Amino acid sequence: MFTWLKTRWHRTGLTAYISHPDCLKHFMGVGHPECPERLTAIRDQLMASQIFDSLQEVDAPLVTPQQLARIHPPRYVEYLESCSPSVGSFRIDADTAMSPGTLLAAQRAAGAVVKAVELVCEDKAPNAFCAVRPPGHHAESARAMGFCFFNNLAVGVAHALATYKLERIAIVDFDVHHGNGTEEIFKDDPRVMMVSTFQHPFYPYCGDEPLGPNMHNVPLKAGSGGREFREAVETVWLPQLHAFQPQMLFISAGFDAHREDDMGSMGLVEADYEWVTRHMVQIADLYCQGRLVSVLEGGYDLSALGRSVAAHLRALSDL
């Protein structure tokens, strides 16, 4: 059983909250769970719980072609551009469709993570949360899937490695679905380590056999709740993070493992998200000079999503 670590890095300033109205322009159809109202629900809950006033609000810039190219081949970006409809929608696969506003929203989502990296690495914010959509952790280097087009977090990780010459970056993913895209992108990169939990067997039906020695995936059975999740964090994540001693920490923050979210069949609650976030802040303070960037992934029950993000940001901001 791990106890709280003694903080070795004193964080000052306000947590950056990075988003953009363009992220509301992506629309995959009436009744689709990955809807613009997700971001509205988050903002409303943060305001209602009086957390928003304790954040530094930042507009997400557009990602540049050079920043995308570190992760996604230009031919893949060109393919998405060619699929972008002027009206109606274009379906990439059964789960993933583009509307006229999708490409712009995706460019903002990836740009938000780049901006978060810059703010955190240049000591302009102690840490950052990117409230963006479409999500990204299912997007592989040359494949859109699972509601995702660009792997937002991966673009940010690549920017941190290239621009700030970091040698060790850790990724934490607690979405109910395995972050297959992130794993595919970084499976052969010893500078990057990933720890994750996810429901299994479940979409995208992988992750139980890690693709590389730097991938530490913990599949959880349907019905798993806080006890099983916390055990995975304490017995797998924390030992791996301590051994790796990352210089920066990224979180793929999916909140669809919440017990009220019918996207999956797990039983986490707000207290679990706050608990794991406080542990990750402690890791960042111990090894990363506080450098931590969190990126929204899943979470589709609007009330549970808003409350979970509020708990997450309460921990990031040490409120």
Q: How large is the greatest C-alpha to C-alpha distance in the chain, in angstroms?
A: 55
Q: Of these residues, 72, 137, 138, 258, which one is catalytic?
A: 138
Rounded alpha-carbon distances, angstroms, from residue 34 to 24, 30, 120: 11, 10, 28
Cis amide prior to 213 (ω within 30 degrees): no
**Helix axes 102-121 and 74-83, enclosed angle (nearest 10):** 140
Q: Are 133 and 20 in contact (CB under 8 A)?
A: no
Q: CB count, 10 Å around CB of 232?
A: 22
Residue 138 annotated to the active site: yes
Beta-ladder partners of 169: 192, 248
Closest CA to 275 of 224, 314, 307: 314
Active site residues: 138
